Structure 1
Amino acid sequence: MNQILDAILAPESTREDFAALPLPDSYRAVTVHKDEADMFDGLPTKEKDPRKSLHVEEVPVPELGPGEALVAVMASSVNYNSVWTSIFEPMSTFGFLERYGKLSPLTKRHDLPYHVIGSDLAGVVLRTGPGVNSWKPGDEVVAHCLSVELESADGHNDTMLDPEQRIWGFETNFGGLAEIALVKSNQLMPKPDHLSWEEAAAPGLVNSTAYRQLVSRNGAGMKQGDNVLIWGASGGLGSYATQFALAGGANPICVVSSDQKAEICRKMGAEAIIDRNAEGYKFWKDEHSQDPREWKRFGKRIRELTGGEDVDIVFEHPGRETFGASVYVTRKGGTIVTCASTSGYTHEYDNRYLWMSLKRIVGSHFANYREAWEANRLIAKGKIHPTLSKTYSLEETGQAAYDVHRNLHQGKVGVLALAPEEGMGVRDAEMRAKHIDAINRFRNV
């Protein structure tokens, strides 16, 4: 691994140098263990501690197959799917690996007693398998997390509809929270030159997810002038949704849970902000009953911020806790677009406010190849910026996942893999200088 890192850090290294590097037999990776999948049984979700289930250990370098690439990972980041994996909710990811392993002799590699997790990376291509033409050893890349087989016609109009669609590092093995990752070559995209390794690794999953959910015609199809309610507007997903709304001429109404998070939204350029804790919104009377009076109070507050208008789009991801309110406050003919359910998967709402007002609920999951590429292009152009707030070492990934699990973070948290320190990997200092305030907006908050 030292030879690989030396080659990456040496400015004179060529593609031929990278192609000639020997691969190690093993590498350090963040894993969960199959024989520990029941370690949190009986505990409430919030008491499940990723620091106890995530391991940093040496694992063998996987076999490289056709259409694949091995990437030296300089940095990665923690997503909510990393938290789900670490607490074995809503189910153990080893079920995903077992099913994938039955698909072919090649995918059998993924069915192991350990799972290398992580769905983001920024790094350097080390090897490519047969049939890979667009990428060469030495290329600096980021990776999106869509893994598909594309043997069915269903996936060729929208790759997210492929029957064998999976999220790399969550439903497959050999993810990005490691020194080396195995990806399909069509997951690779150019690393933005003006960003450091950890900054470039942060947007991938959440930026692409927010793009499809809010901007794409496969999601809400946001247009100029739309009022967009964004839950968790300073968080991993919401911080990108807020930027897309502002960049696209929409009006974000940012829902946050503290004045500190409200200030972050103001720094992004948002003006309409609701601090749900300060204003005391409680959408559930108890575990079984929602409070429609709170929906109405919430809707009134939104109209105060929009000049009397209801929202055209609700950017939903908390799920159970907020979904009833989301359906209620959406304007007639509007759209509630949902991904994830971080507060619970069982959503409840009053259907009268949906059907009689011709509203739509749209399910959105990650992004197809084109959407991921377009979202990354906006990062590379400096139109959308990373929301990295803090960076951990690979050994501290358990603590990073714990912080995300307990909502102790802002934006995204990064993880250094091979990169020995923060701030490395910048290739375009002039462009970086133009955007440095936006790049650092979430830092040290």
Structure 2
Amino acid sequence: MREIIETIMAGEGSAAPDLSALGRVPVPPTYRGVVVRADETGMFEGLATADKDPRKSLHVQEVPTPELAPGEALVAVMASAINYNTVWTSIFEPVPTFAFLRRYGKLSPLTARHDLPYQVIGSDAAGVVLRVGAGVSKWKPGDEVVAHCLSVELEDADGHDDTMLDPQQRIWGFETNFGGLAELAVVKANQLMPKPRHLTWEEAACPGLVNSTAYRQLVSHHGAAMKQGDVVLIWGASGGLGGYATQLALNGGATPVCVVSSPEKAQLCRQMGADLVIDRAAEGFTFWRDAHNQDAGEWRRFGELIRSLTGGRDPDIVFEHPGRETFGASIYVARRGGTIVTCASTSGFQHEFDNRYLWMNLKRIIGSHFANYREAWEANRLISSGRIHPTLSRVYPLEQTGQATLDVHRNRHQGKVGVRCLAPAEGLGVRDPELRARHEEKINLFRGE
């Protein structure tokens, strides 16, 4: 592993480093990865979700390097990031991910590699290609890349119009093994994209999952198909997902209405360029009277506040991901004929809403999940061109991934939390300092938060 790091670091400071020598560096027989273990899936039984501690379930351990299958690439991971699926995996909710690995392992002798008593997790990565499997022609050893997390087999017709509809669609590092929170990672070649040249390794690693998810959810024709002039209500607008949605709305000529939970988060939204911000904690919004009954009066009060900010307009699009806590309010406040697009349920999966406000006002609910390769590529292109910026707030070493995941679990973070894997320090990997200099303030907006 030391030779791999030294070879990559030999290109530091160069605008166009030649890292092709990595193809001649021996592949280590083992590497360190962050894993959950199948024999520990019951360790949190009886505990409330909030009391489950990822530091107890996530382990950094040495694991064997798998053989590459055709169409795959082995990547030396310089940096990765924490996502909500990292939290779900670490606390074994809603189900232990080993059920996914067992199901995947039954497909073929090649996928059987994934069905192990441990899972190397992580759905983001920035690094350098070490090896490619048979049939890979677009990528070669030495290429600097980021990975998106869609894993598809594409043997069924259903996936060839939109790969997210492939029956064998999975999220890498969540529903597969050999993920990005590790020194090495195994990906399909069609997960790879060029690393943004003006970003550091840890900055480049953090947009992948959330930026692509927000792009499909908000911009793509598979999602809300946002257009110029739309009013977009964005829950958690300074968070890992909402921070990209806010930027995409502003970049696309829409008007975001940013919902946050503190003055500090409100200030971040304003620094991103958003003028309309609601601090729901300061306003005292409580959409549920108790565990079983919602408060329609609070929905109305929320809608009135939105209209007071927008000059009387209701949201054309509601960017949903909290789920149970907010979904009734989201249905209510969307304009007649408007769209509620949802990609997650971080506050609970069982949604309740008053259907009269949906059917009688011709509103639509769209389910959105990650992104296909084209959408992820377009989202990454916006990052690479400096139109959309990373939302990285802090970075942990690989050994402290458990603490990083706990921070996200307990909502102690802003934006995205990064993890250094092979990168010996922060701030490395910048190839275009001129482009970086033009956007330095925006790139660092979330740092220290």
Q: TM-score range by the shorter chain?
A: over 0.9
Q: Which residue of 1 aligns with 2:9?
A: 9
Equivalent residue number for residue 176 of structure 1: 180
CA distance in 1, matches of 2:8, 2:19: 11
Q: Which one of the candidate residues 276, 282, 289 is aligned to 1:285?
A: 289
State whether structure 2 residue 396 is matched by structure 1 residue 399: no
Could you tell me which residue of structure 2 aligns to residue 317 of structure 1?
321
Does residue 439 (structure 1) correspond to residue 420 (structure 2)? The answer is no
**May I ask how many residue pairs the two structures share in their alignment?**
445
Q: Deviations over 1:285-321 (max 9, x none)?
A: 0000000000000000000000011010000000000
Residue 205 (1) aligns with residue 239 (2): no
CA distance in 2, matches of 1:349, 1:9: 54
What is the letter of the counterpart of residue 80 of structure 1? Y
CA distance in 1, matches of 2:391, 2:19: 31
Q: Does 1:63 align with 2:67?
A: yes
Aligned 1:120-199 pairs, distance under 5 A: 120-199=124-203
- How far did 1:16 drift? 4.3
The 2-side partners of 1:224 and 1:16 are apart by 44
Please tell me the residue identity of whatever aligns with 1:435.
Answer: H
User: Gaps (5+ residues) in structure 1?
Assistant: none
Q: String of CA shifts for 1:91-142, please: whole Å, max 9, x gaps.
A: 0000000000000000000000000000000000000000000000000000
2:58 is the alignment partner of 1:48: no
Inter-partner Cα distance in structure 1 for 2:27 and 2:367: 42
Query: Any idea what the Cα deviations from partners look like across 1:131-158, whole Å, max 9, x if unmatched?
Result: 0000000000000000000000100000
Question: 1:245: which partner in 2?
Answer: 249
| Residue 430 (structure 2) aligns with | 426
2:60 paired with 1:77: no
Deviations 1:241-292, CA, capped at 9 Å, x for gaps:
0000000010000000000000000000001000000100000000000000
Gap regions ≥5 residues in structure 2: none
User: AA paired with 1:51?
Assistant: R
Residue aligning to 2:387: 383
Q: Give 1:338's match in structure 2, choosing from 310, 334, 342.
A: 342
For the residues of structure 1 that align with 2:150 and 2:2, how far apart are their CA atoms? 30
CA contact (8 A) 1:15 1:136 kept: no
For residues 301 and 389 of structure 2, the distance between their equivalents in structure 1, rounded to whole angstroms, comes to: 34
- Measured after TM superposition, the shift of residue 14 of structure 1 is 3.8
1:95 to 95, 99, 103: 99
Output the amino acid matched with 1:2: R
Indicate whether 1:218 and 2:226 are aligned: no
Letter in 1 for 2:238: S
Once the two structures are overlaid, the 10-residue window that deviates more, 5-14 or 175-184, is 5-14
8 Å Cα contact 2:8-2:19 kept in structure 1: no
Identity %, equivalent residues:
73
1:254-333 matched pairs, under 5 angstroms: 254-333=258-337
**How far is 1:15 from its partner?**
4.8
CA drift of 1:18 comes to: 1.1
TM-score, normalisation: structure 1: 0.99
Equivalents in 2 of 1:339, 1:113: separation in Å?
30
Structure 1 residues 15 and 419: alpha-carbon distance in aligned structure 2, compared to 1, 3 A threshold: closer
Q: Deviations over 1:199-250 (max 9, x none)?
A: 0000000000000000000000000010000000000000000000000010
The Cα shift of 1:42 comes to 1.2
Amino acid at match of 1:285: R
The separation in 1 between residues aligned to 2:369 and 2:19, in whole angstroms, is 36
Distance in 2, Cα, partners of 1:246 & 1:85: 33
2:375 maps to 1:360: no
Q: Structure 2 residue aligned with 1:232, among 232, 236, 239?
A: 236
